[in-house]
Structure 1
Amino acid sequence: MAIIEVGSINNFSVSVKKDIPEASMLESVSTFSELDQVSKSIEPNSFELITSKDQRGLYLKKLKLEKGFGGFLNNLLGSTNNIYFIAWAWDLSGEPVNLYPGKDVQPESVLIPMKAGNVREFIGNGIVLFPKRYVKGGIALRIQIWESDQEIRKFGKAVNDTSEAIKNSKLNNLLSLISLGTGVSGVTISLVKDAAIELGGIIGTILKSNGDDYVDFFEGYYSSDDEWIKKDEIYKGNSSQMTLQKN
């Protein structure tokens, strides 16, 4: 379960197709949750995903280790910790899941040496978590922060295994199929939710098996018809604080 939660996939945006007989009666249905409630009584694919009016992107701007990270002894000795994070994000436009870091990345470029209380700020807008584009339905973002206790070679393998898991996931396949369809149904929504949960579990298992220590977990959902204000947003977990930039 995520330590930091923002929004819900149930609030992703849909609208009824104007050319179906029941259109006037279903105009109030505008979210995944509401569509799920009426899906059994309507024809499949009676709804379509709402596309955002503007292009939207998400970036990691800053990462901070809280002073309580690692306990009293760690803080007293001023230990340096090798921190890294895995982030994956997607919408329903048909684009594949975006992963940070990608496959075949150099481990040295991903590990972040940090002491408790320190802040790491990333240059420019920050690290791209969701590439800026028009969004269908909404953006789903997950970030898992870990402390690496293992050798570089094992860390590199875990990152590559994560990349392969995403590439071959049910979620990635579903996103591709949705983009080819003529609408969205309650069944489709349930499949996407289940596939997203399954992928999160697979990634967590890969990283745990690498022997690393879990730090924090962020899960955020941003509906495509919500107002998109370009700003920095700060989220605080149990052991870390992150600054996300909406752009």
Structure 2
Amino acid sequence: MPLLSRGAFEQFEATPSGPAADEYGLTGRHPFTVLREVTRGLQPVPLKFAASAEERGIALTRLVLTMGSRVMLRRVADASTPLHILCWSWDLSGEPPLVHPAPDADPARWQVPLRGDERRLDEGPLELVPPRRIVGSQSVRIILWQSDRGADPATVTGEVREALRHSRLASTLATLSPDARATMMTAVGVREAAGELGREIAPVLRALCTDYVDFFEGFYPVVDDVVRSDRLAGFHSELSLRM
């Protein structure tokens, strides 16, 4: 369960078709929560997910951890133990989940420097999700981790990438077609698989990291009014994102 969160998977919108849509007069886009309830007794229900007209990405613009965050990361103020950022993201396009930092990224850019008695990253945006056309809803998850066992950031990220590749979420997303057509049961399957993902990745992080925290999870559905920025604060920390 992430410490900070924004939105929920169920907020994405889709256009139904078939007998269920005809019977209930469902025209145009509707939230997943509405579609799930009104079509509960009628399956399958074909869906077409909403898609963004333009490319969208997500960048981390500010991250602050105060001394109080030692309750989450015991070595948050230890200058000899770097604090690393790892994230994964996915949408409903049928593409596999993305894991960052990428293999060719500069590891130093994905560390949160110690400035005085705080961990602070605010020197320019860090690209979490590369700009692309989003289908349904963009999900992004941020993990913060430390290791005094000499764990290499590339190894940690690579192991998480491999675990994601074999996850139930990845296999469920792979069933979505390139034109973003699916059924209500497919969407339910994605939601359930996404809920299991944290438990699937946890053994990898426990094996490699001395401390880690499931820091943030955000869901940003495709809607007409685009969210341009987001700021969250709590648990002795602050997070700002730019879309």
- TM-score (norm. length: structure 1): 0.82
Would you say the 8 A contact 1:235–1:241 is kept in 2? yes
Q: Which amino acid is the alignment partner of residue 46 of structure 1?
A: P
1:19 shift after superposition: 9.3
Contact 2:14 2:136 (8 Å CA) reproduced: yes
Aligned to 2:127: 128
Alpha-carbon displacement from aligned partner over 1:162-185 (angstroms, at most 9, x marks no partner): 011112222222222212577332
Greater shift after overlay, 100-109 or 129-138? 100-109
Task: Give matches, 1:185-200, under 5 Å.
Answer: 185-200=183-198
Partner residue, 1:82: 82
Following superposition, the deviation at residue 109 of structure 1 comes to 5.6
1:168 to 2:166 alignment = yes
| Count of aligned pairs | 238
Question: Which ranges in structure 1 are unaligned for 5 or more consecutive residues?
Answer: none
Aligned equivalent of 2:232, options 226, 235, 240 = 235
Q: Matched residue of 2:160: which SS?
A: helix
- Change over 3 Å in CA distance of 1:132–1:204 after alignment to 2: same
Q: Is the 8 A contact 1:162 1:203 kept in 2?
A: yes
Closer/same/farther in 2, CA of residues 159 and 133 from structure 1, 3 Å limit: closer
State the secondary structure of the residue aligned to 1:163.
Answer: helix
Amino acid at match of 2:160: T
Query: Which deviations, in whole Å up to 9, do the C-alpha atoms of 1:224-247 show, x marking residues without a partner?
Result: 12511323x22224243222111x
Alpha carbons 2:101, 2:107 under 8 Å: kept:
no
* 1:1-247 aligned within 5 A: 1-17=1-17, 22=22, 25-27=25-27, 30-70=30-70, 79-80=78-79, 81-103=81-103, 110-115=110-115, 116-123=117-124, 126-153=125-152, 155-180=153-178, 183-231=181-229, 233-246=230-243
The answer (yes or no) to whether the contact 2:5–2:216 under 8 Å persists in 1 is yes
In structure 1, C-alpha distance between the alignment counterparts of 2:121 and 2:108, rounded to whole Å: 15
4+ residue runs of structure 1 moved beyond 4 angstroms?
Answer: 18-21, 103-109
2:122 counterpart letter in structure 1 = E
> 1:185 and 1:120, CA in 2 relative to 1: closer, same or farther beyond 3 A?
same
Shift, 1:17, TM fit = 3.2
Q: Secondary structure at the match of 1:68?
A: helix
Say if 1:60 and 1:122, in contact at 8 Å, map to a contact too.
no
Same amino acid, percent of matched pairs: 27
Render the CA deviation track for 1:30-58: whole Å, top value 9, x for unaligned.
Answer: 12222222333334243211112332211
How large is the Cα RMSD of the aligned pairs?
Answer: 2.9
Distance 1:36 1:90, change over 3 A: same
TM-score, with structure 2 as normaliser: 0.83
1:147 deviates by 2.7
Moved more, 184-193 or 1-10: 184-193
Shift of the alpha carbon at 1:222? 1.0
Partners of 1:119 and 1:109 lie apart in 2 by: 12
Q: Classify 1:52/1:19 alpha carbon distance in 2 versus 1 (closer, same or farther; 3 Å).
A: farther
Q: Which moved more, 1:95-104 or 1:193-202?
A: 95-104
